[in-house]
Amino acid sequence: MAMRRGVPRLVPPRRAPGGGRSVPRSLRFGASRLLVALQRVSATLEQATDAEIAAWAALVGLTAGEGLGFNRAFLLLADGDQLTGWLAVGPRDRAEAAVVWADLRHRPADPFARLAAVDPAVIAAERARHAATLERLGFAGPEACNTAHRAFIGRSQHPNPCVRHWVAVLESEALAVFPMLEPGRVGGVVLADNFVTRAVVSPARLEAGATIVHALHGALERTRLLRRLQDEHRRRLVAEHSTALLEAARTLAHDVKNPLAVAGGVARELLSSPETYREVLPRQLGVIASAIGRAEHRLATLVEELASRTETVAAVPLDVGPVIGRVVDAFRPLAETGRVEVAVIRPPGPAVAIADPMLLERCVENLLGNCLQTLCETGTPEPAVRVAVVPGETHVAVEVANNGPPLPPALRDDPFAGGVTTHRAGSGLGLLSVRRLAESMGGHVICEDDPSGWVRFVLRLRRAP
């Protein structure tokens, strides 16, 4: 089996597979170690804004030797009227376990160090490796599983058909079942066992597992809510854009097509009956020329408006500070979820710039959201964002800085060019949008190195006279 990089320690090898060699006392499972593991996994789950990250953290917590030490763990989630295998961690069989654990003994690493910043490719590879088992674990009619409210150990004779099915698929002698109950249904279930070591699952470990799964359930609920909010936001923007485009099309049709219809129609009339119009020919030619002139003028205006989008920009003298305050306040719940410290630095007096309040809000939303997402996805220690309003002689600057990693090479040359994203499910258009909005207000945006090593975006707006 090809070994995967970044895969955490899978099991506390109290006894190496095949028996015989025991592991050092320092690696053995203990109450304090269990507590530390619970704290570290719970911290990751509390901050997780991505379902895969949350699921990965929980399953690693269950299987890592430094965690609960199960040999393997599976997550099944309710999908319509069935429970579907979603993610798994651990070896698939004894032979694989021997290889993986031997490898991990030679490459000791802290499996919890980068739980929140795990490479999505690692999760995808683990899911693909277990795809066949995950598919077989699926169970139609999850209401049949809605009988247990606490974690328990299931065996082949268990009265619940779900449990018998899972025990059979996994050929497990003692399967720890951690249900994730929602009102009236099972939202999901985590299964774990010691199919290689056959270690007995103690009540303490079962309870600790239930704690992790409970935290996972909360994290999954939160990520679903965040996803819904993001989808809603995206739909609103699309609707706004569609409305604006429709209005532009209507205007184009009315203001340009009408005079062209006049010019063409009159010309056709002249051609169809030249004798009738002989006496009024100069006037009719004048009508044609005038109509074409109007169409040309209106088309030029519309093109200019579309290009610069100035028609929709109501740039007015505006005290930037309160606008920034509103945006930051709106983002505080998300920042708190990710344990990101957000500081706002405002001048004592007003900082009045020429700006459109709505577009300015959107620019700062984009920059701030970008920073928070980066910090949460990269697992930056002590993550922090600083938003500052800095009045200058000719400009008012809005600085949004974060202490996350520097921009990746693909973004360094021109972060605002668009088409490159470092975020999961990112469009790569956020910073491009900021540039366009800034320019439509007569300002500009840059990214510069902060002396403290932070990544700093600076939006400069014209200072009001």
Partner 1 sequence: MSKPCLLFVDDEEELLNLYRSAFSREGYEVLTAADLASARDLLAGTEVAAVVLDIKLAEGSGLELLREIKAGRPHLPVVLSTAFARYQDDFSSWLADAYVVKSSDLAELKATVQRCLGPTP
- Interface residues with partner 1 (CB under 8 A)? 246, 249-250, 253-254, 257-269, 273, 276, 287, 290-291
**Residues paired with 400 in a beta bridge:** 387, 457
Of 20, 16, 26, which Cα lies nearest the Cα of 102? 16
Residue 13's φ and ψ, nearest 5 degrees, are: -75, 75
Nearer to partner 1, 289 or 358 (CB): 289
Nearer to partner 1, 233 or 250 (CB): 250
Q: How far is the CB of 310 from partner 1 (least distance, A)?
A: 23
- Please answer whether residues 372 and 332 qualify as being in contact, where contact means their C-beta atoms are separated by less than 8 angstroms: no
Q: How far is the CB of 231 from partner 1 (least distance, A)?
A: 25
Nearer to partner 1, 261 or 314 (CB): 261
Interatomic CA distance for residues 302 and 309, integer angstroms: 10
Residue by residue, DSSP assigns 273-324 as -HHHHGGGHHHHHHHHHHHHHHHHHHHHHHHHHHHH-GGG---EEEEHHHHH
Q: How far is the CB of 269 from partner 1 (least distance, A)?
A: 6
Q: How far is the CB of 276 from partner 1 (least distance, A)?
A: 7
Nearer to partner 1, 228 or 254 (CB): 254
Nearer to partner 1, 253 or 358 (CB): 253
Q: How far is the CB of 440 from partner 1 (least distance, A)?
A: 26
- Please answer whether residues 22 and 15 qualify as being in contact, where contact means their C-beta atoms are separated by less than 8 angstroms: yes
H or E segment and range at residue 446:
strand 444-449
Nearer to partner 1, 99 or 262 (CB): 262
- Please answer whether residues 29 and 14 qualify as being in contact, where contact means their C-beta atoms are separated by less than 8 angstroms: yes
Neighbours of 316 (CB within 10 A): 13
Interatomic CA distance for residues 462 and 422, integer angstroms: 30
Interatomic CA distance for residues 230 and 329, integer angstroms: 17
Q: How far is the CB of 305 from partner 1 (least distance, A)?
A: 18
- Please answer whether residues 151 and 176 qualify as being in contact, where contact means their C-beta atoms are separated by less than 8 angstroms: yes
Nearer to partner 1, 59 or 287 (CB): 287
Interatomic CA distance for residues 444 and 460, integer angstroms: 5
Q: How far is the CB of 339 from partner 1 (least distance, A)?
A: 49
Nearer to partner 1, 202 or 242 (CB): 242
Q: How far is the CB of 273 from partner 1 (least distance, A)?
A: 7
